[in-house]
A and B are shown apart, each in its own frame.
Chain A
């Protein structure tokens, strides 16, 4: 009986939400922007912070009257598809987006999904903004993918260089999960470190994603006594445990990663041991965050109960899509116009103090402008929150 009423309640709730979503948009024509990523199962955290930042921003825009492109004011509607981190589903999701007449999609979150959706996106005229780093996605002949964040092979060298110059780091060790994305990122990081003249003392230790005890994994790495320990492509779930194990093993050096992390998760999982942990973030540290960023964080928190610092880096893709469309209204259903505009597009970055610009970059990494210029904000964790260590630009 209990179970039945629970299910009933759940069904009712679900139906209400479904209707709620469709009936909320009445006045303005809707501009649909897609999201294809993982929002359930083990890797749910990656996609959810993504989806939520888009939804929070869309709700904000709609509340303030919509978004005007080429004289028409649109309500922004986010259409999300959960690909369960399965590349086969990701393709289905992209097909779904094509079906909905959507030309701009954020996601997928992982390498294999991003590679798998490419044929669909290109044949249906969809620009997509994956959070995956393989260069082949963005180099010609690939044309429709735009890297939605700073790649590790871009942030890595910047961080290593900073640490070499400011902290006297000479040796570095890498550790990665035994999965496609982290391993690729580790290889990229190792190459970058060697190029900078760092001595790589350990680069072949990996761990299973489901590891519950990192002490045995880290012990041999610690024995190589590096100045810097890089957690390549570490997931927010594993980061605090790795930090904690490394510190408990007596590691005194610096720990860093090139992926975005959440301060709350670090505080809970590693506490004071996470002090000094370096990661790449968006622009929500107090020094950099513009009033608009602060309002975004407030609205996000209000909407979903808690904020996730990973969203700092994930707020940009939607902003880029909308700003570029505003600059080139014909691109609304013509991605060729969008691509053409990408070369010259420039707009102020509303989330950051100072005169940072939104523009497309990537010439040096990909040979074409297929990356959003997100400020490369390198953060350091201190007492429950991130502080900005330094800011750099990607070209």
Chain B
């Protein structure tokens, strides 16, 4: 199936089992219900980080994912609250809108490379936050609150998705939704990276001139990749808005954009599943250090520095060795 070896299939199987059965069992046994939200966050942030990773794959440092997450969150919130759409339709719409914005913005800025691209995307995050503050449709500073929970969907009377508002506890439902989205994202990412598009991206990452000399339409692929990347950002943001039932201009800000980037670095830029691991470690790590009170930040940043000092190729480089490409 898709050219996977049986060993890889087994690993994927174990991973899926852990997420959908293992985690609920562990939570049930330990009573740590708060892990659901933490893991839901990890899953959603990992989706947005996957987008950042993808732009890294064409050799661009992207510190603008917070902008697209915020756009996604607002689009979904506006569609649900003001236009009365079902959340489940607004979710892809949010992703698509983010992708369209990415195409428009990407046309001029994707010509930039290195720190120039990095900085302009950082500025982009600021621009979107300031725009959200200034626009009437986003309610400006007051944000959009009281967003209803996702409603159920049924086709020909057969319920496909349950109504979240009718649930006793939405934690598990959001957890499963986020995990399913994450798995779809990473499956798509894995396929993409291992298909011809992925190879072309790699060729662009390593040398854009040479890539265009072998006939690769680099500006087209850059746009496509940036749009896909921002689509992921939009989806992650929209889902978060739905969990928090509110969106503010500060829901995603520069710090988030930087964190998305750090997730990718930490997991390892050479590995498809790097951003997922990076997100888990960075986000969960912060929660685990909760015990240390006011030293939390100090310890967290120290660990971060130590990791980058001794594992500069990311956490996954321990397992795969340097230069190994997954």
Contact = CB atoms under 8 A, between A and B. Distances in A.
B295 A10 contact: yes
A32 interface: no
A115 B145 contact: yes
B296 A116 contact: no
Contact of A88 (B32, B145, B244): B244
A98 B27 CA distance: 14
A330 B295 CA distance: 36
B142 interface: yes
Interface string B128-149: 0010010000001111011001
Interface in B266-305: 286-287, 290-299, 302
Contact of B248 (A87, A89, A92, A187): A87
Interface in B36-50: 36-38, 41
Interface in A183-241: 183-184, 187
Interface string A101-119: 0000000001110011011
B169 interface: yes
Nearest to B168: A123
Contacts of B169: 123
A21 B37 CA distance: 26
B248 A14 contact: no
A115 B248 contact: yes
Contact of B143 (A41, A180, A187): A180
B170 interface: yes
B34 A39 contact: no
A136 B145 contact: yes
B283 to A, nearest CB: 9
A99 interface: yes
A96 interface: yes
A28 interface: no
A178 B38 contact: no
Contacts of A183: 133, 140-141
B33 interface: yes
B245 interface: yes
Contacts of A87: 244, 246, 248, 250-251
A95 interface: yes
B220 to A, nearest CB: 35
A10 B293 contact: no
B143 A98 contact: no
A91 B145 contact: no
B31, B37, B130, B169: which has the most chain A beta carbons within 10 Å?
A: B37
Contact of A112 (B38, B251, B286): B251
A154 B92 CA distance: 42
Nearest to A178: B133
Given A92-B38, A95-B37, A82 B250 contact: no
B141 A98 contact: no
Contacts of A40: 296-297
Contacts of B149: 119
B240 interface: yes
B80 to A, nearest CB: 15
Interface residues of A, number: 46
A80 interface: yes
Contacts of A41: 255, 297
Interface in B141-179: 141-143, 145-146, 149, 169-170
Given A136-B146, A180-B141, A21 B293 contact: yes
Given A119-B245, A183-B133, A92 B37 contact: yes
B234 interface: no
A115 B246 contact: yes
A182 B250 CA distance: 13
Contacts of B38: 92, 95
Contact of A99 (B32, B143, B256): B32
Contacts of B296: 40, 82
Contacts of A39: 294
B221 interface: no
Contact of B244 (A17, A91, A179): A91
B59 interface: no
A18 interface: yes
A81 interface: yes
Nearest to B149: A119
Contacts of A86: 255-256
A17 B295 contact: yes
Nearest to B140: A183
A134 interface: yes
A99 B298 CA distance: 25
A95 B143 contact: no
A114 B20 CA distance: 31
A24 interface: no
Contacts of B244: 87-88, 91, 115-116, 119
Contacts of B140: 183
Contacts of A7: 302
B143 A111 contact: yes
Contacts of A112: 143, 246, 248, 250-251
A11 interface: yes
A323 B131 CA distance: 45
22 contacts: A10-B299, A13-B295, A14-B298, A18-B292, A39-B294, A80-B293, A86-B255, A87-B250, A92-B41, A92-B287, A96-B287, A110-B250, A115-B145, A115-B244, A116-B245, A119-B245, A136-B146, A178-B133, A179-B249, A180-B249, A181-B141, A187-B141
- What are the 7 tightest A-B residue pairs by CB atom distance, in nearest-first order? A183-B141, A112-B248, A14-B295, A99-B34, A116-B244, A95-B34, A115-B246
Given A14-B293, A91-B243, A119-B244, 9 more contacts: A14-B292, A82-B297, A87-B244, A87-B248, A95-B34, A112-B246, A115-B246, A183-B141, A184-B142
